[in-house]
Amino acid sequence: MAIQTILKMGDPRLLRVAQPVTAFDTLELHQLVADMEETMASVNGAGLAAPQIGVDLRLVIFGTGQINPRYPQYEPIPKTVLINPTITPLGDDEEEGWEGCLSVPGMRGVVPRWARVRYTGFCVRGEAIDRTVDGFHARVVQHECDHLDGKLYPMRIRDFSRFGFNEVLFPGLPAEDD
């Protein structure tokens, strides 16, 4: 296992539409997931998409297990590896919420997301995943899966008065590097 370099906004590899995974439960896929988990843990991330480490595949990991120190106010999300995902909004309700991204370090912005979604896909062994979620869980899965279509959260911001640097927006909070 090895911590990988996280690409930053401006890198064209973050703008690609990623390719579907075609072989499950392979050594390469397990290695990729292990690298991504180690990389995400090293920066206390809530999620990471394969394109963020330069891998052109439709694979995301997310989850907080216990309470994430970066997101102490949110309910835990089960640790998940989600491959070839589809997301279907349930209803028309949107919610606004603050997001950050390991590829846009030091910043936060308010992003509208579907309030409730169903998502499907496969785990690393190729078993089906089918969940209906809302709240922070729904936000995180939408953010991560956007990475698979070359979308970064600033592209979804509607009100740029609520986009800026962490230490300016939230001066009372401890400094974070992402």
**Site of interaction with Ni ion (CB under 5 A):** 101
Pick the closer one to Ni ion by CB: 40 or 133. Answer: 40
Closest to Ni ion by CB, 9 or 90: 9
Active site residue 144: yes
Q: What is the closest distance, in whole angstroms, from the C-beta atom of residue 176 to Ni ion in the complex?
A: 14
Mention every residue, 6+ apart, whose C-beta is less than 8 A from residue 155: none
Report how far apart the first and last C-alpha atoms of the chain are (Å, whole number).
22
Provide the greatest CA pair distance for the chain: 47
Q: Rounded to the nearest whole angstrom, what is the least distance from the CB of residue 126 to Ni ion in the complex?
A: 25
Q: Indicate the residue among 101 and 111 with the shorter CB distance to Ni ion.
A: 101
Say if CB 93 and CB 68 are below 8 A apart. no
Q: What backbone torsions phi and psi does residue 120 show, to the nearest 5 degrees?
A: -130, 165
Closest approach of Ni ion to the CB of residue 35, in Å = 17
- Considering 95, 96, 144, 176, which one is annotated as catalytic? 144
> Which amino acids are annotated catalytic?
144
